[in-house]
Amino acid sequence: MKITYKHVLMAALTLALTAGLASAKSNANKTVNVTLAFATTMPDGTQLQPGDYRMAVLNDAAAPKVEFYRNGKLMCRCPVKIENAPTKAQTTQLMLDVTESGDHVLNSVAIGGSTQLVVFSTSGTPGA
């Protein structure tokens, strides 16, 4: 088979697209299903009732945030800080703080299958 300029250009374009997709995946948004066993207060004060939710991590470098959806309806949007955990989480894990009054407050979420750790802000500043 004769290698032409067209073949070289196609190979270079394929490599560039593959590298671009790999780079985009590292900063990609993630969506996971979570189940809240308790009524949970979000750091912004929103209270989510027990049940199944879809959590979307919007990994914007300037202002990362998390959105919780229930039955397709946006229930909460919170600023977060994205950190790298030392090890990969086997499953998605929600870490809650329990206040003196017994309220459950979401503190952080380890994303299953990755080293991504989502840390919720307790004030208006992400990661504060």
| Number of domains composing the chain | 1
Phi and psi based region of residue 72 (left: phi greater than 0; alpha: psi -120 to 50; beta: remaining): left
The reported pLDDT for the residue numbered 28 is 58
Is 13 among the domain residues? no
Domain that holds residue 78: 30-120
Is 125 among the domain residues? no
Phi and psi based region of residue 51 (left: phi greater than 0; alpha: psi -120 to 50; beta: remaining): left
113 secondary structure, DSSP code: T
Is 21 among the domain residues? no
Q: Would you tell me how many other CB atoms lie within 10 Å of the CB of residue 15?
A: 10
pLDDT tens column, 51-104: 999 999 998 888 999 999 999 999 999 999 999 999 999 999 999 999 899 999
The reported pLDDT for the residue numbered 2 is 54
Q: pTM of the entire structure? A: 0.71
Confidence of residue 29 (pLDDT cuts 50, 70, 90): confident
The reported pLDDT for the residue numbered 122 is 62
